[in-house]
Amino acid sequence: MNELSKRKWNRLLSHNEFYIAIIIVAICLLIEVRSGQFFTPNNLVDIVRSGIVPCIFGIGVLVVMLSGGIDLSFVPIAALAMYITNSVMLDTGFSGSIVVPFLLAGGIGIACGALNAVVISKFNLPTMIVTLGTSSIFTGLLRGVFEAKEKTASPILMELGSSKLFTAQNADSGLTSDMPSTLFILLGVVVVTFILLRYTTLGRGIYAVGGDPGAARRAGFRVTRIQFFVYCYVGLLAGIAGVTRTGMSQAAHFTSLLGTELTIIAATVLGGARITGGVGTITGTVLGAFLMTIVSNSLVLIGVPTYWQQFFTGALIVIGTGISVYQASKKYRGSLSLDERAKEELG
Amino acid sequence: MEHSGDIILKAEKIVKSFGGVHALKGVDLEIRRGEIHCLAGENGCGKSTLIKIISGDYVADSGSVTLNGTRYTKLTPIESIGEGVQVIYQDFAVFPNLTVMENIAATQTLMEHKKTVNWKHYREIAQEAVSKIGFSIDFDERVENLSVANKQLVAISRALLMSAKLIIMDEPTTALTKKEVAALFKIIKNLQASGISILFVSHKMDEVYEICDRLTVFRNGENVITTDIKEVDQKKFAYYMTGREFKQEQYTCAHPGETVLEVQDLGLPGAYEDISFCVRKGDIYGITGLLGSGRTELALSLFGMLRAKTGRILIGGKQARIHSVADAQKYGIGYVPEDRATEALFLPQSIENNMIVSVLDSYTDKNGVYHAGALRRLAEEWRESLHIKIRRLSDPVSSLSGGNQQKVVLAKWLASDLRVLILNGPTVGVDIGSKYDIHQILRDLAAQGIAIIMISDDLSELLPNCNRMMIMRGGRTVCEMDTSSTTEREVANIISDTAARC
pLDDT one-digit tens code per residue, A121-151: 888 889 999 999 999 999 999 998 888 788 8
Contact A342 B177 (CB under 8 A): no
Helices A155-162 and A74-92 sit at what angle, rounded to 10 degrees? 120
pLDDT of residue A344: 42
Say if B166 falls within a structural domain: yes
Residue B385: closest CA among B347, B360, B430, B355: B355
Q: Is B98 on the interface with A (CB under 8 A)?
A: yes
Pairing of strands B272-280, B284-288: unpaired
Phi-psi region of B341 (alpha: psi -120 to 50; beta: other; left: phi over 0): alpha
CB A70 within 8 A of CB A39: no
Say if A115 falls within a structural domain: yes
CA distance A256 to chain B (A): 37
Q: Is A274 on the interface with B (CB under 8 A)?
A: yes
Contact B97 A199 (CB under 8 A): no
Alpha-helical (H) ranges within B33-92 are 47-54, 77-82
**CATH for B98:** 3.40.50.300
Say if B81 falls within a structural domain: yes
Provide the whole-model pTM: 0.77
Q: Looking at the structure, tell me whether residues B32 and B162 fall in a common domain.
A: yes
The span from the CA of B39 to the CA of B204, in Å, is: 11
In the three-class reduction of DSSP (H, G, I as helix; E, B as strand; rest coil), residue B312 is classed as: strand
Q: Is A210 on the interface with B (CB under 8 A)?
A: yes
State the total domains in chain B: 2
CB A117 within 8 A of CB A134: no
Q: Which CB contacts under 8 angstroms, 24+ apart, belong to B364-372?
A: none
pLDDT of residue B83: 92
- What ipTM is given for this predicted complex? 0.82
Say if B83 falls within a structural domain: yes
The span from the CA of A201 to the CA of B112, in Å, is: 11
Say if B358 falls within a structural domain: no
The span from the CA of A67 to the CA of B182, in Å, is: 38
Of A201, A214, A215, the CB nearest to B117: A201
As to burial, measured by CB atoms within 10 angstroms (0-12 exposed, 13-18 middle, 19+ buried), residue A114 is middle
Which residues of A are less than 8 Å from B267 in CB distance?
A: none
pLDDT band at A333 (very low <50, low <70, confident <90, very high): very low
pLDDT tops 50 at residue A338 = no
According to DSSP, the residues that pair with B262 across neighbouring strands are B278, B314
pLDDT band at A3 (very low <50, low <70, confident <90, very high): low
CB A295 within 8 A of CB A275: no
How far is the CA of B52 from the CAs of A204, B23, B59, B65, in angstroms? 27, 12, 8, 12
Phi-psi region of B310 (alpha: psi -120 to 50; beta: other; left: phi over 0): beta
Q: Which chain B residue shows the shortest CA-CA distance from A199?
A: B117
Q: Looking at the structure, tell me whether residues B118 and B169 fall in a common domain.
A: yes
Q: Is A213 on the interface with B (CB under 8 A)?
A: no
Say if A163 falls within a structural domain: yes
pLDDT lower than 50: segments of chain B: 1-4
The span from the CA of B213 to the CA of B235, in Å, is: 18
Q: Is A6 on the interface with B (CB under 8 A)?
A: no
Q: Looking at the structure, tell me whether residues B167 and B309 fall in a common domain.
A: no
**Higher pLDDT residue, B36 or A217?**
B36
CA distance A211 to chain B (A): 5
pLDDT of residue A332: 44
Q: Which chain B residue shows the shortest CA-CA distance from A200?
A: B116
Structural domain range at position B451: 259-340+413-496
pLDDT band at A53 (very low <50, low <70, confident <90, very high): very high
Q: Residues 6 or more apart from B12 whose CB is under 8 A from it?
A: B28, B63, B64, B65, B66
Q: Is B95 on the interface with A (CB under 8 A)?
A: yes
The span from the CA of A311 to the CA of B415, in Å, is: 49
Helices B295-302 and A334-346 sit at what angle, rounded to 10 degrees? 160
State the total domains in chain A: 1
The span from the CA of A5 to the CA of A15, in Å, is: 16
- B positions 386-445 inside 8 Å of A (CB): none
Say if A335 falls within a structural domain: no
Q: Looking at the structure, tell me whether residues B284 and B220 fall in a common domain.
A: no
Pairing of strands B310-315, B468-473: unpaired
Q: Looking at the structure, tell me whether residues B234 and B322 fall in a common domain.
A: no
User: What single DSSP character describes residue B396?
Assistant: B
Sheet holding B197-201, edge to edge: B85-88, B166-170, B197-201, B36-40, B214-219, B222-228
Say if B171 falls within a structural domain: yes
Listing DSSP states for A179-238 in one string gives EETTHHHHHHHHHHHHHHHHHBHHHHHHHHHHH-HHHHHHHT--HHHHHHHHHHHHHHHH
Question: Phi first, then psi: what are they for A170, rounded to 5°?
Answer: -85, 120
Q: Looking at the structure, tell me whether residues B198 and B234 fall in a common domain.
A: yes
Contact A204 B106 (CB under 8 A): yes
pLDDT of residue A325: 67
Of the given ranges (A105-114, A338-347, B157-166, B295-304), which has the lowest mean pLDDT? A338-347
Q: Looking at the structure, tell me whether residues B438 and B482 fall in a common domain.
A: yes
pLDDT of residue A343: 43
Say if A299 falls within a structural domain: no
CB A175 within 8 A of CB A42: yes
CB B52 within 8 A of CB B201: no
CB B453 within 8 A of CB B299: yes
Structural domain range at position A208: 53-280
Q: Looking at the structure, tell me whether residues B82 and B209 fall in a common domain.
A: yes
Q: What residue type is assigned to position B280 of the chain?
A: R
Q: Looking at the structure, tell me whether residues B22 and B159 fall in a common domain.
A: yes
Say if B265 falls within a structural domain: yes
pLDDT of residue B274: 92
According to DSSP, the residues that pair with B482 across neighbouring strands are B468
The span from the CA of A199 to the CA of B66, in Å, is: 40
Q: Which chain A residue shows the shortest CA-CA distance from B496?
A: A346
pLDDT band at A169 (very low <50, low <70, confident <90, very high): confident
pLDDT of residue A135: 95
Contact A339 B141 (CB under 8 A): no
User: What single DSSP character describes residue B364?
Assistant: B
CB B498 within 8 A of CB B282: no
Contact B117 A210 (CB under 8 A): no
CA-angle at B432, arms to B426 and B433, nearest 5°? 100
pLDDT of residue B468: 93
Which residues of B are less than 8 Å from A220 in CB distance?
A: 107, 110-111
Which residues of B are less than 8 Å from A198 in CB distance?
A: 117
pLDDT band at A2 (very low <50, low <70, confident <90, very high): low
Q: Looking at the structure, tell me whether residues B50 and B184 fall in a common domain.
A: yes
As to burial, measured by CB atoms within 10 angstroms (0-12 exposed, 13-18 middle, 19+ buried), residue B384 is exposed
Say if A165 falls within a structural domain: yes
The span from the CA of B107 to the CA of B158, in Å, is: 8
Q: Which helix (H) or strand (E) holds B437?
A: helix B432-447
pLDDT of residue A342: 42
Q: Looking at the structure, tell me whether residues B227 and B279 fall in a common domain.
A: no
pLDDT of residue A309: 78
Contact B97 A211 (CB under 8 A): yes
Q: Is A319 on the interface with B (CB under 8 A)?
A: no
Residue A291: closest CA among A307, A272, A278: A272
> Which H, E and C letters describe B161-185, residue by residue?
HCCCCEEEEECCCCCCCHHHHHHHH
Phi-psi region of B292 (alpha: psi -120 to 50; beta: other; left: phi over 0): left
Say if A120 falls within a structural domain: yes
CB B10 within 8 A of CB B173: no
pLDDT of residue A335: 34
pLDDT of residue A327: 65
Of A207, A221, A342, the CB nearest to B292: A342
Q: Which of B242, B275, B297 is the last residue of a domain?
A: B242
Contact A218 B294 (CB under 8 A): no
Q: Looking at the structure, tell me whether residues B285 and B153 fall in a common domain.
A: no
Say if A328 falls within a structural domain: no
